[in-house]
Amino acid sequence: MVVGSLYLPKDNPNKPLGEDAHFMHELYQTIGVADGVGGWALKGIDAGIYARELMKNSFIATYDETMKGDYVNPKRVLEEAYKNTNSKGSSTACIITLNSMKNTIVAANVGDSGFLLIRKGKITYKLSIQQRGFGCPYQLGNCNSDNPSVAQEMELNVERDDILMVGTDGMLDNIFESEIEEIVERAIDQKLKAEELASQIGNIALYNSFDRFADTPYARASEGRHKGGKIDDITVIVAYIQ
3-state secondary structure of 116: strand
Per domain, the residue ranges of the chain are 2-240
Predicted local distance difference test score (pLDDT) of residue 69: 65
The parts of the chain modelled with pLDDT lower than 50 are none
Predicted local distance difference test score (pLDDT) of residue 151: 95
Say how far apart CA 90 and CA 110 lie, in whole Å: 11
> What class is the 2-240 domain?
alpha beta
Helices and strands in the chain, H and E counts: 6, 13
Whether the CA torsion 64, 116, 146, 39 is positive or negative: it is positive
97-125 b/e (C-beta count within 10 Å ≥ 16 → b): bbeeeeebbbbbbbbbbbbbbbeebebeb
pLDDT, one tens digit per residue, over 88-112 is 999 999 999 999 889 999 999 999 9
Question: Quick one: which of 71, 34, 54 has its CA closest to 166?
Answer: 34
Q: Which residues pair with 157 in a beta bridge?
A: 104
Say how far apart CA 82 and CA 145 lie, in whole Å: 11
Predicted local distance difference test score (pLDDT) of residue 15: 86
HSE, side-chain direction, 13 A CA sphere, residue 45: 18
Predicted local distance difference test score (pLDDT) of residue 89: 94
